[in-house]
Amino acid sequence: MENITAILYLIAAICFILALKGLSSPKAAQRGNFYGIAGMAIAFITTLALADKPIWGLMGGAVIIGGLIGGTLAKRVQMTQMPELVAAMHSLVGLAAVLISVAAIFHEGANHTGVQRIELFIGAFIGAITFTASVIAYGKLSGKFGSKAVSFNGQHLLNLVLAIAMIGFGIAYYLTEAHAAFLAMLAVALVLGVTLIIPIGGADMPVVVSMLNSYSGWAAAGIGFTLNNPVLIIAGSLVGSSGAILSYIMCKAMNRSIFNVLLGGFGSGPAAAGAASSGPKNYKSGSPDDAAFLMTNADSVIIVPGYGLAVARAQHALQEFAKLLTEKGVKVRYAIHPVAGRMPGHMNVLLAEADVPYEQVQEMEEINTDFATTDVVLVIGANDVVNPAAQKDPASPIYGMPILEAYKARTVLVVKRSMAAGYAGLDNDLFYMDRTMMVFGDAKKVVEDLLKAADQ
């Protein structure tokens, strides 16, 4: 029986690895999801079969109810709500780790070794921090709590005191196995999750989402050691390590360290305030007809999508317009910044949903050198990822952040509702360049007008 269990867990682990590999590409994402579902089904059934007197009805009912809720959300949640949904899912993983650890602590007759007590402590406090931090991230992403950073005097000192108290209670539990010490540790960790996230501004939320993904994985791995469940250890380690790597990639794309993110967000300092409050500047604006004329007569067009595209649900209309341009002999490509949107890969998923050909979608490193020889760049719903201040203004909070170098194109068209600052709260010099034309309006309406004008 042990050999069969080991083989089944190995198959489940391989499925999880294949799932991550598949999810690395929009083309293979559907297959990756299938592998993930298959691996989880194998792991769940195997674990339940090994349980002592499992309550099949209770577990089966929980799976059915959870599946119905998940399936309903998957069909109803809009692409713009996907980042906060991911944050909410991370909170549930953290909460699960907390509940499992509490159940293990209060399990009658349980005799945890010193190593197991350490594992419980680590898994529980990471899970608790992940839970409350993810709830705050969900609120910031959904706009329920506001996206601005919340800071006050002594904030970092408070976090330090909370961290020391949490570790202190954890040591007390390790030495005495006192339930009260363990619960006190959890309470402090729950508060620490809140105080760690509230000073982070909205522009850093993509990194936070990735970081919380990593936390949830490590929490699951820690609980896996306690339960002596190898597949949970493997799955948690895969999620934790991949989330950590993605957080590093995101920070590199923003020219920030993870510590810099945790200590405060873009747009919260005086430099950002000054940038946002600078005096009026001159800019040029045009109609969708003007923009359509420029693009249909161009040899090459690069489209830079952003969160505004998702909000307007304009991806399908944009794909129709891009298809029309291609039929007219225009070379069309999409440029994706690593932190475009509100979560890693947000724009890739958005474009895949609209059946944009994979070969037209290129990452920043692939396409940045082509902007200088491009006739027209269409920036639609994006702001901070094309801000030249990142390269030209040492006083800017985003100075040094790699950007899509749209400003080098011969003509830049920017679709925005207004001249308001972007998510980071910064003005954008791109909008005031001589080669830039602003096209104001709802992204979907503007793209539909572009399509009509180009089709005449």
* Structure confidence by residue, pLDDT tens digits, 437-455: 999 999 999 999 999 998 8
Sheet order of strands, 331-336 included = 361-363, 331-336, 300-305, 376-380, 411-416, 436-440
Domain membership flag for residue 274? no
Place of tokens 């985003």: 398
- Measure CA 392 to chain center: 28
Angle between helices 205-227 and 82-105 in degrees, nearest 10 = 30
Quote the tokens at residue 40.
């989880």
Domain membership flag for residue 153? yes
Same domain, 227 and 302: no
Calpha distance 133→199 (Å, rounded): 11
- Residue 434: active-site member: no
Domain membership flag for residue 273? no
Same domain, 246 and 299: no
**Closest C-alpha among 381, 380, 376 to residue 328:** 376
Q: Which amino acid is at 320?
A: E
CATH number at residue 367: 3.40.50.1220
Question: Would you give the DSSP letter of residue 110?
Answer: -
Angle between helices 230-253 and 2-23 in degrees, nearest 10 = 20
Q: Which amino acid is at 146?
A: G
- Which of 204, 289, 375, 384 is catalytic? The answer is 384
Domain membership flag for residue 38? yes
Quote the tokens at residue 332.
């069309």
- pLDDT tens-digit series, residues 146-179: 667 777 888 889 999 999 999 999 999 999 989 9
Calpha distance 341→80 (Å, rounded): 9
Boundary of a domain, candidates 232, 262, 292: 262
**Closest C-alpha among 57, 131, 51 to residue 87:** 131
Which residues form the domain of 234? 77-262
Calpha distance 427→419 (Å, rounded): 9
Same domain, 240 and 204: yes
Same domain, 83 and 22: no
**Closest C-alpha among 432, 325, 443, 326 to residue 382:** 443
Same domain, 248 and 296: no
Angle between helices 346-353 and 315-327 in degrees, nearest 10 = 70
Domain membership flag for residue 296? yes
Q: What is the residue-level pLDDT of the chain in tens, covering all 456 positions?
A: 678 888 999 999 999 999 988 887 777 888 999 999 999 999 988 888 887 777 888 888 888 898 898 888 878 877 777 778 888 888 888 898 899 889 888 887 777 788 888 888 988 999 999 999 999 888 887 777 766 777 788 888 999 999 999 999 999 999 998 999 999 999 999 999 999 888 887 667 777 888 888 888 888 888 888 778 888 899 889 989 988 888 887 777 777 777 766 665 444 444 444 444 455 678 999 999 999 999 999 999 999 998 888 888 899 999 999 999 999 999 999 999 887 776 667 788 888 888 898 889 998 989 999 999 999 999 998 888 899 988 888 888 778 888 999 999 999 999 998 887 766 667 888 999 999 999 999 999 999 999 999 887
Cβ neighbours around 91 below 10 Å, total: 22
Please provide the distance, in angstroms rounded to a whole number, between the alpha carbons at the two ends of the chain.
71
Q: How many domains does the chain have?
A: 3
Boundary of a domain, candidates 74, 91, 126: 74
Calpha distance 358→349 (Å, rounded): 11
Same domain, 292 and 245: no
Quote the tokens at residue 251.
């920070």
Same domain, 381 and 247: no
Same domain, 81 and 135: yes
184 and 176 Cβ atoms separated by less than 8 Å:
no
Boundary of a domain, candidates 25, 53, 74: 74
∠ CA 331-333-339, nearest 5°, is: 165
Same domain, 194 and 234: yes
- pLDDT tens-digit series, residues 203-230: 677 778 888 888 888 888 888 887 788 8
- Measure CA 298 to chain center: 35
52 and 38 Cβ atoms separated by less than 8 Å:
no
Domain membership flag for residue 270? no
Which DSSP string do the residues of 347-367 spell out, in sequence order?
HHHHHHHTT--GGGEEEHHHH
Calpha distance 243→86 (Å, rounded): 13
SS3 content of the chain, % helix, strand, coil (to 5): 65, 5, 25
Same domain, 70 and 82: no
Same domain, 137 and 115: yes
Domain membership flag for residue 272? no
Same domain, 342 and 432: yes
Domain membership flag for residue 269? no
Global confidence as pTM: 0.74
* Beta strand pairing call for 361-363 and 411-416: unpaired
